[in-house]
């Protein structure tokens, strides 16, 4: 600036013209500051356009006016005033361009600025399905007790699903389970048929495991099973089961009871009781149904016991099953169970309808995040 002024003086203009030149430059500086501040504050395109017209507009614009009126300035002032006006014009044009970009990027596609009063959009976060979580938690406890986790196919043969499990095909159990057969057409229920079906329980994994491994066996086998069942609050045609099997020398019912009591206390808490009710399964002898009773602490701090709730079928492995896989049933004994993790998850979350777990309605599942 100083240099320009000296140059102006050196140019030898009159005192009046010099004042006019300085006044022009002062005005330019003031407008520059005003316009830059206004651009900064502008919240839409229209506001920016008003600023542009006011300072850079061809006819009325203040900065353009200086350039237009160059002729009225003393010749010696023209270069510095012209240069200053051009600099301000360029600077404002650049600021307006940046302002436009800022507004464009802030505006939604409809061209409106964002509405900061809107509630935030819900973020989607996946989670483990409550039944899968029950399976994982059950599995972790058995893993710490020395069990390994195995899987079996969901499409099975009659041999694995029934016959090897000491359940002849004309046995009521084979009908009772109302199995979903895969063979097309009328099904010949003879032993010679491969009889493909959707497994009606996870017990065939017992057979597949024992066929391939010698004792000692300690497995947990979770998976889906299928039945032609009614569809109601406690039954669905597809549901999860967890099979457990232990086979070794000298395994007794006492091992079984102690292991299950340990599992129940770890899963539901130290106050949990278990009881065995006599039952019947073709592949166990003796057979039992196992119930648990939980001690829950009410909101007022008092302890309360739940009703007995059935969680599994179980028993000592029938020697005929051990014979079927080529084990020496004089030497080895075992116990097994089939547990319903859906039932366990219902108990855990106070859900009264099993179907909710298998319908995959996100309004329901979203609550388990
Ligand atoms: N497979 C039986 C069912 O689905 C449950 C069961 C009972 C499994 C006794 C077992 C067992 O391993 O020992 O109803």
Angle between helix axes 130-144 and 341-349 (nearest 10 degrees) is 110
Model pLDDT for residues 217-255, shown as the tens digit of each residue: 999 999 999 998 888 888 899 999 999 999 999 999 999
* Rounded alpha-carbon distances, angstroms, from residue 321 to 198, 212, 244, 247, 334: 21, 14, 15, 11, 10
Q: Is the pLDDT of residue 31 over 70?
A: yes
Q: Closest ligand 1 atom, CA of 202?
A: 1
CATH superfamily of the domain spanning 130-368? Bira Bifunctional Protein; Domain 2 (3.30.930.10)
Q: Is 203 in the pocket of ligand 1 (CB under 6 A)?
A: yes
What's the confidence (pLDDT) of residue 67?
A: 85
Tell how far the Cα of 173 is from the centroid of ligand 1, in angstroms. Answer: 11
Mean pLDDT of the chain: 87
Model pLDDT for residues 170-192, shown as the tens digit of each residue: 877 676 557 888 865 555 554 44
Distance CA 342, CA 134 (A): 8
What's the confidence (pLDDT) of residue 1?
A: 42
Q: For atom 12 of ligand 1, which residue has the closest CA? A: 337
**Cα distance from N-terminal residue to C-terminal residue, the chain:** 67
Q: Closest ligand 1 atom, CA of 206?
A: 12
Tell how far the Cα of 213 is from the centroid of ligand 1, in angstroms. Answer: 21
Q: How is residue 348 written in tokens?
A: 């855990």
Q: Closest ligand 1 atom, CA of 243?
A: 12
Query: Full-prediction pTM beyond 0.85?
Result: no
What's the confidence (pLDDT) of residue 95?
A: 93
Whose CA is closest to 291, among 320, 268, 322?
A: 268
| Complete DSSP assignment for 319-357 | HHHHHHTT--TTTEEEEEEEE-HHHHHHHHHT---THHH
Tell how far the Cα of 336 is from the centroid of ligand 1, in angstroms. Answer: 7
DSSP 8-class letter at 88: H
Choosing from 283, 288, 291, 310 the residue with most ligand 1 atoms within 8 A of its CB, the one to mutate for a pocket test is 283
Q: Closest ligand 1 atom, CA of 241?
A: 4
Tell how far the Cα of 239 is from the centroid of ligand 1, in angstroms. Answer: 14
What's the confidence (pLDDT) of residue 191?
A: 46
Q: Is 195 in the pocket of ligand 1 (CB under 6 A)?
A: no
The domain spans of the chain are: 2-110, 130-368
Tell how far the Cα of 312 is from the centroid of ligand 1, in angstroms. Answer: 7
Q: How is residue 135 written in tokens?
A: 């399976």
């Amino acid at each position: 600036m100083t240099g320009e002024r000296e140059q102006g003086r050196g140019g030898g203009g009159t005192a009046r013209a010099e004042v006019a030149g300085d006044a022009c430059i002062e005005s330019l500086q003031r407008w520059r500051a005003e316009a830059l501040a206004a651009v900064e504050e502008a919240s839409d395109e229209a506001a920016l356009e008003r600023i542009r017209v006011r300072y850079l507009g061809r006819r009325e614009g203040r900065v353009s006016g200086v350039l237009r009126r160059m002729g009225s300035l003393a010749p010696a002032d023209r270069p510095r005033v012209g240069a200053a006006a051009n600099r301000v014009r360029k600077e404002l044009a650049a600021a307006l361009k940046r302002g436009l970009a800022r507004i464009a990027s802030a505006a939604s596609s409809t061209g409106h600025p964002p509405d900061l009063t809107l509630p935030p959009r819900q973020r989607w976060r996946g989670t483990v399905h409550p039944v899968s979580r029950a399976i994982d938690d059950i599995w972790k406890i058995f893993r710490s007790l020395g069990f390994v986790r195995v899987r079996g196919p969901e499409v099975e043969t009659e041999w694995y699903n029934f016959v090897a499990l000491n359940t002849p095909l004309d046995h009521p159990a084979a009908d009772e389970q109302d199995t979903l057969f895969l063979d097309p057409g009328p099904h010949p229920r003879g032993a010679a048929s491969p009889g493909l079906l959707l497994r009606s329980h996870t017990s065939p994994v017992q057979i597949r495991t024992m066929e391939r491994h010698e004792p000692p066996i300690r497995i947990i086998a979770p998976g889906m099973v299928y039945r032609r069942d009614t569809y109601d609050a406690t039954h669905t045609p597809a549901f999860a089961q967890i099979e457990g099997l232990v086979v070794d020398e000298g395994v007794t019912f006492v091992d079984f009871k102690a292991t299950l009591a340990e599992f129940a206390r770890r899963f539901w808490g130290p106050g949990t009781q278990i009881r065995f009710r006599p039952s019947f399964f073709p592949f166990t002898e003796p057979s039992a149904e196992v119930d648990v009773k939980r001690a829950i602490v009410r909101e007022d701090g008092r302890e309360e016991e739940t009703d007995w709730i059935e969680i599994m079928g179980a028993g000592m492995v029938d020697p005929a099953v051990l014979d079927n896989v080529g084990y020496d049933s004089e030497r080895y004994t075992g116990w097994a169970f089939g547990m319903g993790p859906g039932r366990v998850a219902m108990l855990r979350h106070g859900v009264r309808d099993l179907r909710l777990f298998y319908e995959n309605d996100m309004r329901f599942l979203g609550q388990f995040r």
